[in-house]
Amino acid sequence: MLVEVNMQLTFKYKLKPHKPQCKIIDQTIELCRRQYNFRLGERFDWYDSTRTPINACPLNVSILPVDVIYQNIPEFRVQTRDGRKLDGNGVPITKKGDIHPNIVEGYVDWLTTQLADLKQTKQIFPEYKEIHSQVLQDVVNRVEYAFSRFTKPDKNGKTSGRPRFKGKHYYNSITYTQLTNAHIVKDERGRICLDLAKIGLVPMVFHRSIPNGFKVKTGTIIREADGYYVSLVIEDKRIPDQVEAEILPTEENTKGIDLGLYHYAFCSDGTEYDVPKFLRKSASKLAKLQQRLDKKKSDKTAKSYRILRNKIAKLHQHIARQRLDWQFKLAYKLFEDCDVIAVEDLKLKNLIRRNRAKIDQDGKFTENGQSAKSGLNKSFLDAAFGQFVNVLKFVAWKLGKRVIEVNPSETSQHCWNCLNRVSKTLNDRWHDCDNCGESLNRDENSAKLIKRLAIVGMDVTSLKKAITKAEAIVIEEASVLCVA
């Protein structure tokens, strides 16, 4: 069965709003933040007083009876013109006047209930009338998303943490969910602008045009340290999403890459690319600024505090951009002489997980290596391997090439040539195999092994088993021959 997924890209542009427009955007973001916190609170009130964990006796019993919690929620609601559900092509599924139940099988259908309740909000707080309805509805959708990630496990059985109420510096964007190409227009002075309802024509730096055939779907206005940006999601329905090029990995066309901290990337052909130093340089600058900020913590309202905080935010932004730029350059370089790149399937989460606590005979906590690892964790985050793998995949898609992710377990502990286990600690930088005499840099050994695994399409253990099995058959055949 062919699943129709459309090609989606995100293009980010700098916005140059006028001063009054900045004020409107800031005001809208602030009102949306309050709305977000209010809607989240509504959900928590219900959740905290009605839930009962499965297999457990509830320790916190609801003070309010359930029907009291439900009393403010009408049983039915009437569909208005706003908030109709649309299918993928923008055709409304529901129409004005439809009657929907708010409580389905004993559970509140929160998304539609809260969407319908926005009308009430606008009546009580008239300032919400100044916000475009799509933007306000998107706030409720964000709450729904955060809450469902918290209560319902995803396909891996994992849930994310309890959603947080957002402080002023943690809510920085609003989304127009139904933008089109027609919203990019020229104003009377000939500048290219984004036509945003309730805000007006916002001049934008249109540094790259929308590719032919792509349609603008949504636009998110983001407030960053150095101003405002818009992130446009564009879509082409003719191109299926991220079709991986069907290239079979072979000895000649494949390159294995080991990502690490001593060398950012070590290739199976022996070339190495070092960890970019600019991050370390900026880090010391950042640390100095942070120290100065800590001294000023006593008066957070002071102008000097705000200026310094903004400086730090800008530096963070600068570092992130430098890193991304460098990663793109590296990705193109790596693909210069190969068609397939094999990398470890980074479970970065596992890498940065805390070490298990060690308890000695007296019941005291002893050294578990966490302090050493914390330094390592920081470097891992600095290096942003997860982001790099995504960049690699994007570049591969653009070039019609391929990235294969292999199971990383044991790749640093085995000899790439004979699969003999050579145990190493993090400090052992050299790989010496007693079995076949292979002697090379440990990262190069890993890279070569990763390449080999990608070509056969197995992980270390299954490859080892397959080889032992093949050897056993050979020996068996030989013994049969001897007997004969």
Which spans of this chain sit near Zn ion (rule: CB under 5 A)?
Answer: 415, 417-418, 420, 433, 435-436, 438
Number of H helices, E strands in the chain: 11, 20
CB of 415 to Zn ion, least distance (A): 3
- Using the minimum distance from each CB to Zn ion, give the nearer residue, 142 or 414: 414
Q: What is the smallest separation between the CB atom of 418 and Zn ion, expressed in angstroms? A: 3
Contacts of 239 (CB under 8 A, 6+ apart): 6, 7
At its nearest, how many Å lie between Zn ion and the CB of residue 244?
32
Q: Which is nearer to Zn ion, 435 or 461 (CB)?
A: 435
Whichever of 171 and 416 has its CB closer to Zn ion, that residue is: 416
Does residue 6 contact residue 200 with C-beta atoms inside 8 Å?
no
Which CB sits closer to Zn ion, 304 or 435? 435
- Quick check: 271 and 264 in contact, CB under 8 A? no
Minimum distance between the CB of residue 449 and Zn ion, rounded to whole angstroms?
10
Identify which of residues 183 and 424 has a Cβ nearer to Zn ion in the complex.
Answer: 424
Q: Report CA-CA distances (Å) from 43 to 52, 135, 162, 165, 215.
A: 15, 20, 12, 12, 35
Q: How far is the CB of 416 from Zn ion (least distance, A)?
A: 8
With helix as H, strand as E and coil as C, how does 301-361 read? CCHHHHHHHHHHHHHHHHHHHHHHHHHHHHHHHHHHHCCEEEEECCCHHHHCCCCCCEECC
Task: Find, among 182, 228, 230, the residue nearest to 21 by Cα.
Answer: 228
Query: Which residue(s) pair with 200 in the sheet?
Result: 196
Nearer to Zn ion, 221 or 433 (CB): 433
Nearest-approach distance from CB 226 to Zn ion, in angstroms = 53
H or E segment and range at residue 221? strand 215-224
In the bound state with Zn ion, the residue whose beta carbon lies nearer, of 177 and 420, is 420
Instruction: Report, in Å, the least distance between residue 340 CB and Zn ion.
Output: 24
